[in-house]
Amino acid sequence: MRIGRARVVLPPGGFLQATAVAEEALAGLVGEAVSEATSIADLFCGVGTFALRLAERARVRAFDASKEAIAALARAAAAPGLKPVEAAARDLFRRPLLPAELDGCDAVVLDPPRQGAEAQAKALAQSRVPRIVYVSCNPATFARDARLLADGGYRLGRVVPVDQFRYSAHVELVATFAR
């Protein structure tokens, strides 16, 4: 599968967005939101849906619990024309990136599963990262995590819904937060 300039060989059980059109829309919104960043952390990155596209113009540190997804991302990140991508397997529910580990990042992108990213949001709320882009498929857990970020001093900016779940009431969203 092609993601930006890279070609990814999907691992068994690899996660992709529900539709190609919605994935492109989400990637466009995320890319626009971090367009000025030169160092980005992509949390819950999967096979690199965002990381590989972002690496076309910025250095990326990508983290996901799936070792298979991280291996696929690392192989794809060798594509010509990409900035360095550091891909590491890490359970962000049990071991979220701490504020000191995020120093030097201009932006963080996070796209957690339906249960949200409570532990990671708590750690981000204590960080100095100037910009966070949160992609969510669950408005309830997004609201919980957004409250944590707001309580930590982040301001919620633009929120864009993306209707990618055909024939269902579910919606994906892309939200930006800034210090």
Q: Where are the alpha helices (DSSP H) in the chain?
A: 20-33, 51-54, 67-76, 118-125, 139-151
**Which one of 137, 146, 162, 174 is the catalytic residue?**
137
Query: Whole-angstrom Cα distance, residue 122 to residue 141?
Result: 13
> Catalytic residue at 137?
yes
Provide CB contacts within 8 A for 176, sequence distance 6+: 33, 131, 132, 133, 134, 156, 157, 158, 159
| Active site positions, annotated | 137
